[in-house]
Structure 1
Amino acid sequence: MLKKYLLVPLALWLVLLTPFVHATPKIENWTTSKGLRVYYVPAPEIPMLDMRLAFDAGSARDGSKPGLAMLTNDMLDKGAAGLSEDQLADQFESIGAAFGSGASMDMASVSLRTITMEKEQKAALETWLKVLSKPDFPQKDFERVQKLTLVGLQSEKQDPESLGSKAFYKALYGDHPYGQPANGTEESIPALTVADLKAFYQQYYVAKNGLLAIVGAVDRQQAETLAEQVSAVLPAGESAAPIPEVKPLTEAKTVKISYPSTQAHIMVGQIGDKRGDADYFTLYMGNQVLGGSGFTSRLMKEVRDARGLSYSVGSYFSPLAQLGVFEINLQTKKEQTDEALNVVRDVLGKFQKEGPTDEELEASKKDITGGFPLRTANNSQIVEYVSVIGFYQLPLDYLDTFTSKINALTREQIADAFTRRVQPDKMVTVIVGGDEK
């Protein structure tokens, strides 16, 4: 995900000087007159306001033009309402405000952080709304972004992790939108035009296709006023059509990519879960034991500590609007590739049948629940959580119930979920390193 941020010295100073007492944020929500969904959390402790506007406009909407969503989002602050990129940056910086943007597979976002002093907040909001509603997509800047993107694509050819990741997603998803690279290809990027970006923007950056997360020192009435101001500059539009369902793999696949290195970069995985999935917490908890907890995970102990086959090994589930990925990744010496893969598969197979031990489960629960308050410790973190909750229409008490749902999980539930959802005999394996033979 690409992001652009300006430094906010005053905001940082205020955060550091303000004592923090953690409490699970209470989320309120409503819909504006134009159809923009709003999710609001009051945070009066410090005079700061965070707003994050998210649209169903990620790379899954690229269609036959990979890279379109990313470039559209990246161009928003390159010029708007007749102001240049430097002029926009100066306007934000002069009042200590921060602008951010980014695009992922499912969503594209535009964010603002500002102090809530009346003059500064008003100026920050006015500039932000110009970027949001009146992007100019200057031709010269577009050509520059195109060239930079192509340079990035060229550099990825020298990065085995990037090579493997793109091959992994392509083998996993095939022609599904999730199988396309978010940053495009060397063929698709030069073919894009400013007209393509404008058409994408006009279709997807609309009220009914977005949601606004507001976190900060504003009351409900002020939040409603802010939401209507944002909504007013957007066309009503229509929400995007659902992303097609993902088809599970029916057989195992192995992809070998030649690369001149002494190490083999290995990715093993399959289709995983999605946001709001009934098995989300169970799979998340199980993966924490299997490969998500760093040096204490079972994969790390068996692959690295017991056999010295890899410096690092890990696993994760990455849920999306539709089924995301479950992936195990590691690096090992090329001549140890087969041995390392056998150990990984043995560990996964045993874990799938038996689940975690009582000790592993208890330690992982403490790790997850103990670290959870730190992940919602400031407004910028909270606004991202609230945005995700709103975008994927998760329960409003998601943050309230997170800890209790984790603590309620049992070994048997985890083993059952992994037995039903993980299929070791139908996985994609991508190996980058050595010759193709």
Structure 2
Amino acid sequence: MMDFTKMIHRAGLLLLAVVAMLVPSLPAAAVDIEKVVSKGEIEAWLVRDTKNPIIAMQFAFEGGTERDPADKLGLAIMVASTMDEGAGNLDSQAFQGKLDENSITLSFNAGRDAFVGQLVTLRETKDTAFDLMRLALTQPRFDMEAVERIRGQLQTSLRRSQADPSYWAQLAFGYALFPNHPYGLPQRGFTETLAAITRDDLVQFARTRLSRQGLKVAVSGDITAKELAPLLDKLFGALPVKATLAPVADVTPAAQGKTILVPRPIPQTVMVLAHSGLDRSDPDWYAATIVNYVLGGGGFSSRLMDEVREKRGLTYGIGSSLQSFDHANLITVSGSTVNEKAAEAISVTKQIWGEVAKNGITEAELRDAQTYLTGSFPLQFTNNGAIAGLLLQVQRDDLGIDFLNKRNDLLNAVTISDVKRVADRLLDPEKLTTVLVGQPVGIEPTGTFVMQGQKIGIVGPEALLDQPK
């Protein structure tokens, strides 16, 4: 039976952790980032914060779901979902029990381009936390009970997703833009490809894909550089120097100007529009950020929200975003409307898109965007986990260790002529690929998205395009 005093103590630590995560960790002043390099030449960026006894670490390995074999889609996500289900001599129940009783959060996730892990621990339990993380990285068990349980959960989640129009929008959107590229394949795979994944596949992934090559590590909280340096070797030093990664080509989005329909018996139409965007390293990124904010990224301050929702009542919400991946770049718009007004909603969206492309924005819109984007930036430093996440993204985008301190200056340096030039370069309503899920009225699609088992494609004026199985 658990000692009552220990139980109260642990409950108090957990409450402290929750409260501390809600309290801003840093002021709006300059961010002091230390570059920490271990004896084994493993590098991490550290923001030290002693106000709360919490340490947050995030790390990323090169390669995500885009490198899954086509016949075993969902492999990276399945690995991420099972790595904390037992490690070393601890089975799933024992491993999770140690995390819970020490108020430790440890999780893994597979994105398009990276395999990411994160750890949050109290300083008092850091030794236990880092040891559990080391075991998960270097000695994951992948016991069959846990593997089959997680497989079942992932398959059930996929089946349930088919009732969600957003699932179909994402599926068709990826395929339409990237029909012959890994980005066009569903990250979570299909129930059939999940069923094909073996325990040996999970073991092989962990052995060959998780390496020190391209590893990025970010830490924020109550730990010194002197303490962190040897920890890096302890945590990551046993991993292989290089990973075995299938090559992935850069790609330009396809289906420019086409309208793809996903027929679903629902009263509303989900709409997603996109065309090529800008690479994160492009010098015009900051002007494009302002263009996007005014166009649709600024919520109720954006033109799309004003014109499509406020003035015409065609939607409850619509927004735009810049998306930069390792191998492709997009600018997208998403929203929904009733089926009967889908044609008008799409028409107005393209009209606003074209107006911003032709005329740019006003001086007032520029000032408002700069004020918001710079003034709200400190709100991203809400806790150590958020700070570690920012540090990790800056590393992955190769923006430099001083980026967080110069980011607002880069935005404030954008002029109205910069915005007009970039809007003209970036936005072209004629090239927008449109994906519609529902029963939109008054729209003639150029193709219809279909899925049969693992076979997906677009039929219509073009022949069925099959993904490799």
What TM-score range do you get, normalising by the shorter chain?
A: over 0.9
CA distance in 2, matches of 1:335, 1:146: 40
Report if the CA contact (8 A) 1:215-1:383 is conserved: yes
Instruction: Quote the offset at 1:391 in angstroms.
Output: 2.2
Report if the CA contact (8 A) 2:58-2:219 is conserved: yes
Corresponding residue number in structure 1 for 2:144: 139
**Alignment map for 1:5-84 (pairs within 5 Å):** 8-14=14-20, 21-29=27-35, 31-34=37-40, 36-64=42-70, 65-84=72-91
Corresponding residue number in structure 1 for 2:109: 102
Compared with structure 1, are the counterparts of its residues 188 and 405 closer, same or farther at alpha carbon in structure 2 (3 Å cutoff)? same
Instruction: Quote the offset at 1:241 in angstroms.
Output: 6.5
CA distance in 1, matches of 2:152, 2:23: 43
Instruction: Quote the offset at 1:16 in angstroms.
Output: 5.8
Report if the CA contact (8 A) 1:172-1:271 is conserved: no
Report if the CA contact (8 A) 1:35-1:208 is conserved: no
Instruction: Quote the offset at 1:269 in angstroms.
Output: 0.7
Corresponding residue number in structure 2 for 1:313: 318
CA distance in 1, matches of 2:156, 2:100: 29
CA distance in 2, matches of 1:349, 1:210: 41
Corresponding residue number in structure 2 for 1:86: 93
Q: Which deviates more, 219-228 or 270-279?
A: 270-279
Corresponding residue number in structure 1 for 2:329: 324
CA distance in 2, matches of 1:377, 1:229: 29
Report if the CA contact (8 A) 1:264-1:333 is conserved: yes
User: Aligned with 1:81: secondary structure?
Assistant: coil
CA RMSD of aligned residues (A): 2.2
Compared with structure 1, are the counterparts of its residues 250 and 21 closer, same or farther at alpha carbon in structure 2 (3 Å cutoff)? closer
Report if the CA contact (8 A) 2:25-2:384 is conserved: no
User: Is 1:198 matched with 2:203?
Assistant: yes
User: Aligned with 2:191: secondary structure?
Assistant: coil
Compared with structure 1, are the counterparts of its residues 156 and 238 closer, same or farther at alpha carbon in structure 2 (3 Å cutoff)? closer
Compared with structure 1, are the counterparts of its residues 337 and 11 closer, same or farther at alpha carbon in structure 2 (3 Å cutoff)? same
| Normalised TM-score (structure 2) | 0.86
CA distance in 2, matches of 1:207, 1:433: 45
Match for 1:273 among 271, 278, 287?
278
Instruction: Quote the offset at 1:45 in angstroms.
Output: 2.6
Report if the CA contact (8 A) 2:176-2:254 is conserved: no
Q: Which deviates more, 86-95 or 366-375?
A: 86-95
Compared with structure 1, are the counterparts of its residues 17 and 201 closer, same or farther at alpha carbon in structure 2 (3 Å cutoff)? closer
CA distance in 1, matches of 2:310, 2:247: 45
Letter in 2 for 1:72: V
User: Aligned with 1:289: secondary structure?
Assistant: helix
Corresponding residue number in structure 1 for 2:297: 292
Q: Which deviates more, 44-53 or 374-383?
A: 44-53
Instruction: Quote the offset at 1:240 in angstroms.
Output: 4.4
CA distance in 1, matches of 2:24, 2:251: 46
Corresponding residue number in structure 2 for 1:166: 171
Match for 2:185 among 180, 187, 190?
180
String of CA shifts for 1:286-312, please: whole Å, max 9, x gaps: 111100111121001111111111121
Report if the CA contact (8 A) 2:84-2:92 is conserved: yes
Instruction: Quote the offset at 1:171 in angstroms.
Output: 0.5
User: Is 1:112 matched with 2:119?
Assistant: yes
Q: Which deviates more, 286-295 or 47-56?
A: 47-56
Letter in 1 for 2:42: L
Compared with structure 1, are the counterparts of its residues 362 and 43 closer, same or farther at alpha carbon in structure 2 (3 Å cutoff)? same
Q: Percent identity?
A: 28
Compared with structure 1, are the counterparts of its residues 184 and 16 closer, same or farther at alpha carbon in structure 2 (3 Å cutoff)? closer
Compared with structure 1, are the counterparts of its residues 250 and 100 closer, same or farther at alpha carbon in structure 2 (3 Å cutoff)? closer
Instruction: Quote the offset at 1:180 in angstroms.
Output: 1.5
CA distance in 2, matches of 1:17, 1:364: 27
Instruction: Quote the offset at 1:226 in angstroms.
Output: 1.6
User: Is 1:394 matched with 2:399?
Assistant: yes
User: Aligned with 1:79: secondary structure?
Assistant: coil
Corresponding residue number in structure 2 for 1:3: none
CA distance in 2, matches of 1:385, 1:32: 22
Q: Which deviates more, 345-354 or 131-140?
A: 131-140
Report if the CA contact (8 A) 2:20-2:383 is conserved: no
Letter in 2 for 1:172: L
CA distance in 2, matches of 1:374, 1:71: 33
Report if the CA contact (8 A) 2:36-2:225 is conserved: no
User: Aligned with 2:170: secondary structure?
Assistant: helix
Report if the CA contact (8 A) 1:208-1:239 is conserved: no
Compared with structure 1, are the counterparts of its residues 178 and 16 closer, same or farther at alpha carbon in structure 2 (3 Å cutoff)? closer
